[in-house]
Amino acid sequence: MDRVKLVEVGPRDGLQNEAALVPTDIKIALVERLADCGLRHIETASFVSPKWVPQMADGAAVLAGIRRKAGVVYSALTPNLRGLEAALAAGADEVAVFTAASESFCQKNINCSIEQSLARFTPVLAEAWARRIRVRGYVSTVLGCPYEGDIGPDAVARVAGALYRMGCAEISLGDTIGTGTPGKAKAMLAAVRREVPIERLAAHFHDTYGQALANLYAVLEEGVRIVDCSVAGLGGCPYARGASGNLASEDLVYLLHGLGFKTGVDLARLVETGHWISQQLGRENGSKVGRAMNG
Amino acid sequence: MDRVKLVEVGPRDGLQNEAALVPTDIKIALVERLADCGLRHIETASFVSPKWVPQMADGAAVLAGIRRKAGVVYSALTPNLRGLEAALAAGADEVAVFTAASESFCQKNINCSIEQSLARFTPVLAEAWARRIRVRGYVSTVLGCPYEGDIGPDAVARVAGALYRMGCAEISLGDTIGTGTPGKAKAMLAAVRREVPIERLAAHFHDTYGQALANLYAVLEEGVRIVDCSVAGLGGCPYARGASGNLASEDLVYLLHGLGFKTGVDLARLVETGHWISQQLGRENGSKVGRAMNG
């Protein structure tokens, strides 16, 4: 049976959108519970300046506090060399850099051009390489940009290819605003795989318009075998109550198991974890499987 | 460009699950607004005994009250000959009969065996034929049953084939409890299309587990071109707060337009209609597109 690698991003990409500060011990418990569900790749912390993302200021404490489980990769987001140093000092097993396929989004999100972002990653990758640390590269706005609208597949392929040639071991393709549909996702993937081997590509789809799982199914058919997801759909769009953001891990696992893929994840336990964290945050569970199985 | 026929079931399959009685004038306004969005097939009423479904007791008043729009088909659910007579007297343009692929579900839902249900439809179809009225056949539990679990593709094909041979012009395949995944949906379709031409088949998928749009995309790829949907996702599962039922029309139209299909529907207006009916019912909008576009 075919295996799909899941990258659980709830503790980082999910929680960073929560308005109220989440206590460090809840973050630690969340990461531990996710590992107990069988998830093997957990994005655990971010070392972006706490000035920009106060929610993630306790990244070192989270990484230091978790009971480590053998075989689990605990990763961290690192915008630059200083972030990398802090992440590694805190014990991150893997790091991730992030840029965008849209020039305007890159400027507004990380305050530099795409070109400048790539230049900034060069020393990060060199240092990570020297220390035998795997680096993941995120490309956001691959199926649409809030400022520019449509983003051409070639623009995505250019950035993804540059990250791959710089040494990123895995490139995660993010439909940040969730506006993509399956045909667009396939066209984007077709362009990107000319630059990056498909086994290095991850799909990171948001469900803001309800399209994430359909898009995901389309790229699974094309051979993508790494998928990012967020327990309970943590990471909802801040601009609309109830509008969801990240693809819920529970809904993804349900799909994958239904299609006969192996994930190593215990779905019932994952549903419990999603229910638990939703209660902790006083938030509606963003996973439909979670709601149906808790009914 | 390829065209997909949408059958809007919100006013019937959607509203019949609402606990509080919805006033007749709201039902009428909903049907009129949906027609104004460009929907051409609207399931408007049900002539099941009001003892069983009190919410639908005013079907004749709804059909009598709507301002008719040229080119729009206003249909009604009719369980038997008496229902057919009432629906036609009230001015239904088309009628629908319903049975299941699961013996247990059929017994619990309509209190007879599948065989008995088909026998009951014979005079309905004969009378409809004599009056040149098109009949749609619904098959529920095509991807799973709450009592029996998995339902084999052959069981679905048998019932769908029987309905087709009896004279149903269109067979709607319902994943009533929303447990299906794309591989199962394709296997079911492969069996059914050996009995019924694919252009006669409609997909009626529920989103209880978040799988509806992925399943739908899978059967679109196989050539299905008729899809049932419900504005604002009306028809949520009564057993779990927030758990959704019918595939939201807005999310479907977004997918179809993104794939380049023509539907004739004005999405912005549909979003407004979904927002309006959700407010009228004091219900959260079950469409993600609806929530995102109203943000």
d(CA B77, CA B59): 10
Inter-chain CB proximity A217 and B217 less than 8 Å = yes
User: Per-residue pLDDT tens for A124-183?
Assistant: 999 999 999 999 999 999 999 999 999 999 999 999 999 999 999 999 999 999 999 999
Inter-chain CB proximity B242 and A291 less than 8 Å = yes
| Chain A environment of B288 (Cβ under 8 Å) | 207-210, 243-244
d(CA B259, CA A49): 40
- Name the percent of chain A in helix, strand, coil, to the closest 5: 45, 20, 35
d(CA A135, CA A75): 9
**Contact of A189 with A224, CB cutoff 8 Å:** yes
- Establish if B258 touches chain A: CB-CB under 8 angstroms: yes
Number of domains making up chain A: 1
- The whole-number pLDDT of residue A5 equals 98
- The whole-number pLDDT of residue B109 equals 86
Q: For A273, left (φ over 0), alpha (ψ -120 to 50), or beta?
A: alpha
Model ipTM?
A: 0.94
H or E segment to which residue B205 belongs: strand B201-205
Task: Please name the residues in contact with A103: beta carbons below 8 A apart, sequence gap of 6 or more.
Answer: A113, A114, A148
Q: Check pLDDT > 50 for residue B242.
A: no
A19: confidence class by pLDDT, cuts 50, 70, 90? confident
Task: Give the lowest-confidence range in A170-184, A194-208, A273-287, B234-248.
Answer: B234-248
- Nearest chain B residue to A213, by CA: B214
* B187–chain A nearest CA distance, Å: 11
- The whole-number pLDDT of residue A180 equals 97
| Chain B environment of A246 (Cβ under 8 Å) | none
**What single-letter amino acid sits at B87?**
A
Residue among A1, A4, A175, A181 with most chain B CBs within 10 A, to mutate? A181
* A289–chain B nearest CA distance, Å: 5
d(CA B222, CA B224): 6
Residue among B205, B279, B291, B294 with most chain A CBs within 10 A, to mutate? B291
- The whole-number pLDDT of residue B233 equals 94
Q: What is the CATH number of the domain that holds B108?
A: 3.20.20.70
| Chain A environment of B287 (Cβ under 8 Å) | 210
Inter-chain CB proximity B243 and A291 less than 8 Å = yes
Task: Please name the residues in contact with A254: beta carbons below 8 A apart, sequence gap of 6 or more.
Answer: A267, A289, B181, B209, B210, B211
Catalytic residues of B: 237
Give me chain A's average pLDDT, please: 94
Residue with tokens 């319902």: B174
Q: In chain A, which among 217-236 make CB contacts under 8 A with chain B?
A: 217-218
| Chain A environment of B210 (Cβ under 8 Å) | 213, 248, 251, 254, 287-289
User: Per-residue pLDDT tens for A244-264?
Assistant: 689 999 999 999 999 999 999
Residue A165: give the domain boundaries.
5-294
Catalytic residues of A: 237
d(CA B74, CA B68): 9
- Establish if B283 touches chain A: CB-CB under 8 angstroms: no
Size of chain B, expressed as the number of residues it contains: 295
User: Per-residue pLDDT tens for B70-113?
Assistant: 999 999 999 999 999 999 999 999 999 999 999 999 998 889 99
- The whole-number pLDDT of residue A279 equals 94
What are the b/e assignments for B172-186, b being 16+ CB within 10 Å?
bbbbbbbbbbbbbbb
Nearest by CB to A217, from B184, B209, B218: name it. Answer: B218
- Other CB atoms within a 10 A radius of the CB of residue A33 amount to 18
**Contact of A207 with A245, CB cutoff 8 Å:** yes
Give the mean model confidence (pLDDT) for residues A101-113.
92
Nearest by CB to A255, from B181, B244, B291: name it. Answer: B181
Inter-chain CB proximity B214 and A209 less than 8 Å = no
Closest by CA position to B201, among listed B229, B224, B175? B224
User: What percentage of residues in chain B have a pLDDT greater than 70?
Assistant: 96
**Contact of A217 with B214, CB cutoff 8 Å:** yes
